[in-house]
């Protein structure tokens, strides 16, 4: 079975699902964890603070036992369908095993206790950009949706430097400034951002800010006070795709 978003690694059977500390506390920067499995540069622990690349958000970086973490992926798990009246929830793979890939072969063995530390500056920027992307997403739907049709998202990418959303269709450039203004109105509202866990699994949360609710498993800030106004750019990507990207205005 191939791991998502990481080199091909084949896990032994029976490994427990990783406890994902960031689901409860995305601000946690360092923990100790028990090693469950190693193979070359790959390591699985009983719990982790590292976010694995998924949902468009890049994985965290940092160190395990003082050794640089290159990437984090996930494997195994089970597919879960959640039906909720107020919002459409995509089918998600939950209870996954997280595999951390280090910059060198792992010197630890199963049973060892190791220290994990994330690159906090990178994580925090990813949290900020992911939250900003949700405001961009919501504003785009408010501006471009019609009674007959709703935007279809083809993909997204959340990086340390910004965020982008790719939509099917040709979105008018004249409306892009309206999207930016609406998104910034939310960002400047000094409103709490709440992550409500799905009762069936902590791997799905409902990102809430005022009237907005979006199913999401990524990491986010706790308030719009932690964000700055964004600049929105519209770009045509071929005949069928329009990209809306955003960066914080204070970063250019």
CA distance linking residue 223 with residue 53, whole number of Å? 23
Q: For residue range 7-35, what is the model confidence (pLDDT) as tens digits?
A: 567 677 788 899 999 999 999 999 999 99
Let me know: does 31 contact 62? Beta carbons within 8 Å: no
Give residue 218's pLDDT.
94
DSSP 191-219: -B-EEEEETTEEEEEEEEETTEEEEE-S-
- Sign, Cα dihedral of 121, 226, 229, 220: positive
Q: From 83, 81, 82, 80, select the one nearest 94 (Cα to Cα).
A: 80
Q: From 31, 28, 29, select the one nearest 46 (Cα to Cα).
A: 31
Which ranges constitute the DSSP H helices of the chain?
120-144, 176-187
Q: From 247, 27, 214, select the one nearest 132 (Cα to Cα).
A: 247
Q: Which long-range contacts (CB under 8 A, 24 or more apart) does 90-96 make?
A: 90/215, 92/201, 92/203, 92/204, 92/217, 94/201, 94/203, 94/204, 95/17, 95/201, 95/203, 96/17, 96/18, 96/52, 96/203
Mark the ranges of the chain whose per-residue pLDDT is less than 50.
Answer: 1-6, 251-252
Give residue 8's pLDDT.
62
Let me know: does 187 contact 227? Beta carbons within 8 Å: yes
CA distance linking residue 127 with residue 149, whole number of Å? 31
Give residue 4's pLDDT.
46
- Sign, Cα dihedral of 89, 92, 98, 104: negative
Give me 35's structure tokens. Answer: 């090693």
Residue for token pair 């998600």: 92
- Predicted structure pTM score: 0.91
* Cross-strand pairs, 175: none
Q: For residue range 84-127, what is the model confidence (pLDDT) as tens digits?
A: 888 888 898 999 999 999 999 999 999 999 999 999 999 999 99
Domains of the chain and any CATH numbers: 19-118 (2.40.30.130), 123-251 (3.30.980.10)
């Amino acid at each position: 079975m191939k791991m998502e978003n990481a080199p091909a690694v084949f896990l032994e059977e029976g490994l427990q699902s990783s406890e994902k500390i960031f689901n409860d506390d995305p601000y946690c920067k360092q923990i100790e964890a028990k090693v469950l499995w190693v193979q070359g540069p790959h390591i699985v622990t009983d719990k982790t603070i590292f976010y694995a690349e998924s949902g468009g958000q890049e994985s965290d970086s940092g160190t395990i036992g003082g050794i640089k973490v290159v990437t984090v992926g996930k494997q195994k798990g089970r597919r879960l369908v959640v039906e909720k009246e107020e919002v459409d929830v995509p089918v998600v793979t939950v209870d996954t095993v997280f595999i951390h890939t280090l910059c060198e072969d792992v010197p630890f063995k199963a049973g060892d206790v190791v220290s994990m530390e994330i690159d906090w500056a990178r994580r925090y920027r990813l949290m900020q950009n992911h939250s900003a992307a949700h405001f961009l997403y919501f504003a785009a739907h408010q501006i471009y949706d019609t009674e007959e049709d709703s935007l279809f998202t083809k993909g997204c990418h959340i990086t340390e430097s910004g965020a982008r959303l790719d939509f099917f269709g040709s979105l008018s450039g004249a409306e892009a400034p309206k999207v930016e203004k609406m998104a910034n109105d939310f960002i400047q509202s000094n409103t709490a951002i709440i992550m409500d866990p799905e009762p069936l699994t902590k791997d799905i949360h409902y990102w809430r800010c005022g009237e907005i609710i979006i199913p999401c498993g990524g990491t986010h800030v706790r308030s719009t006070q932690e964000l700055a106004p964004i600049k929105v750019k519209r770009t045509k990507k071929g005949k069928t795709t329009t990209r809306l990207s955003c960066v914080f205005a204070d970063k250019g």
